[in-house]
Amino acid sequence: MEVGLTHFLIVSAILFSLGLFAVITRRNAILVLMGVELILNSANINFIAFAKYGGMKLDGQAAAVFVIILAAAEAAVALAIVLNIYQRFKTVNVDEISAMKE
């Protein structure tokens, strides 16, 4: 069986759903951020698969490179924020971090 565009799209859709699932169900801030990474990477797979199989120009590949760099920048900031939260609250459970009331 030839591996084609559809296979890549299915993998990326599964990855996206897993990421969404992680963000919604996990209460640990680090795990939520890992879910976000999964979502970003599923989009990357889409970009590259479309660029390769769709007969399009290199736009998709370039987009994926930018997104990888950006994900690293975002992870750096997010982890610094989580570290600061841990020093203040001694927990990284998002449900327990609510000093502000509704």
Partner 1 sequence: MVQQILESAKFFQPETALTITFCVALLVSLFDKKGTMVGGLVFCGLAITALLLVKQACTAGNVTLFHNMYAVDGFSTFFKAIILGSSLLVTIFSFQSNELLTAKRHLGEYYALLVAMTLGMFLMSGSSNLIMMYLSLELTSISSYILSGFTKQAEDSSEASLKYVIYGAFSSGVMLYGISMIYGLTGSLDVYGINEALQAGTVNMIALFIAGILTLVGFGYKISAVPFHFWTPDVYEGAPITITAFLSVASKAAGFAMMIRFFTVAFLDSTAGSLTLGTWQALQGFDWNKLVAILSVLTMTLGNLVAIWQTNIKRLLAYSSIAHAGYMLMGVVVLSSDGIAAVMIYFVVYLFMNLGAFYIVMIVANKIGSESIEDYKGLGVRSPFVGIALTVFLLSLTGIPPTAGFVGKLYLFAALINAKWFWLAIVGVLNSVVSLYYYVKIFRNMFLREPAPNAGELSFSPVHIVIIMIMLLPTLIIGIYFSPLVEIAQASVTMFGVR
- What is the radius of gyration, based on Cα positions, of the chain? 17
Give min distance, CB of 2 to partner 1, in A: 19
What the block records as the tokens of 16 is 């996206």
**By the rule CB under 8 A, 59 interacts with partner 1:** yes
Size of the site for partner 1 (CB under 8 A): 44
Within the chain, residue ranges assigned H as helices are 5-25, 29-53, 59-89
What the block records as the tokens of 90 is 């001694």
Phi, psi (deg, nearest 5) at residue 93: -80, 120
Contacts with partner 1 by CB under 8 A lie at: 9, 12, 16, 19-20, 23, 29, 32-33, 35-36, 39-40, 42-44, 46-47, 49-50, 54, 56, 59-60, 62-63, 66-67, 70, 73-74, 77-78, 81-82, 84-85, 88-89, 94, 97-100
